[in-house]
Amino acid sequence: MDARRFGFLYRQGEGAIDARTWWAASWPPAAIIAVLTLVWLAIAPRQARDLAHEAFFSAGVVATFAYFIAYVFALLLWAVVQYFVSAKRFADRGYPPACAGLLPLALLLTGAANWYQPRSEGAMPAWATLAFDAAALGVVVWNVWELGFRAGAGDKAATNHNSTVSR
């Protein structure tokens, strides 16, 4: 992928792309985020530190939270990249490009709810995280269906071009 194509896909919201291009542009950043998320889930602290029995400074804790800072930066970068790719696909489908913000927003809110609930000391009930999870899952399914499987203007043009070429 050259710099011009990269800039078009990941750095601007104008234009339109077909479903095949959306898949090709969406899966690499999503795969990277999935791997980074699995790493975070493996190293995330499971309980509060007991400073009465543990040292105040711990290299492991510093490394864990340094990773967390880099992970959050990667998540925000993914949200921007995914917005630009999906905005072009939504435009091709005839929806407002702003619909592309629903997926990153839903996933970031779900992540925040799942992080906050155990720390809320009962202010946020455990079932609330399930509601956030269900809503985010619904948005993911809707995005994949609309953008990855439904035909848009670009898909029809590609089909017409392929049928003309094959004659």
Q: Dump the DSSP string for the chain.
A: --HHHHHHHHH---S---HHHHHHHHHHHHHHHHHHHHHHHHHS--S---TTTS-S--HHHHHHHHHHHHHHHHHHHHHHHHHHHHHHHHHHHTS-GGGGGHHHHHHHHHHHHHHHGGGSTTSS-HHHHHHHHHHHHHHHHHHIIIIIIS--HHHHHHHHHHHHHH-
Mean pLDDT of the residues in the chain? 89
* pTM of the predicted protein model: 0.81
Q: What is the pLDDT of residue 37?
A: 95
Q: What is the pLDDT of residue 166?
A: 34
Pick the range with the lowest mean pLDDT from 16-25, 50-59, 89-98.
Answer: 50-59
Q: What is the pLDDT of residue 104?
A: 95
Q: What is the pLDDT of residue 163?
A: 35
Q: What is the pLDDT of residue 133?
A: 97
The domain limits of the chain are 14-46+56-166
Q: What is the pLDDT of residue 149?
A: 94
